[in-house]
Structure 1
Amino acid sequence: MDDCSDALHELYQYLDGELTEERRAIISTHLNACGECFEAFDFQAELRQVVAYKCRDEVPEALKSRIAGLISGEA
């Protein structure tokens, strides 16, 4: 595999912090030098942030209380 293939193949592992420090440094160096791979990385990182932000659901207080009661055996 070439540098771009390696970087793109390990992109999700890089974003998830699942690479060794050595592998992370290699990918990071490549991303800093390769605009095309950096764009792919940047897009995925931003997409993850948007999804994390938009997919947050607030749990109603009544449900929280009910679950807490079930856990403590008060239901």
Structure 2
Amino acid sequence: MIYDLRHFLERNGFYVSSRLADRLGIRAKNVRLFFIYITFATVGLGFVLYLVMAFWLKLKDLVYTKRTSVFDL
């Protein structure tokens, strides 16, 4: 059963990049490389977004600290 599922996915799943490459008129290798690069870019973008938000929240906490009286300035 697992072998049949694997065979089905290999036969039909890898055809996506080949069919897209044929439609665009480029090589399938370039389409696969594009998908690999875009995967790394989106993972890196998420990490950078996380760091920016963490810095922003830390900066917000420093600016909006609660003061107990007027003389705490």
Structure with greater helix percent: 2
- Specify which structure has the bigger relative contact order, considering alpha-carbon pairs within 8 angstroms and separated by 6 or more residues: 1
Shorter-chain TM-score: which interval? 0.3 to 0.5
TM-score (norm 1): 0.35
Indicate the structure (1 or 2) with the bigger Cα radius of gyration.
Answer: 2
TM-score relative to the length of structure 2: 0.36
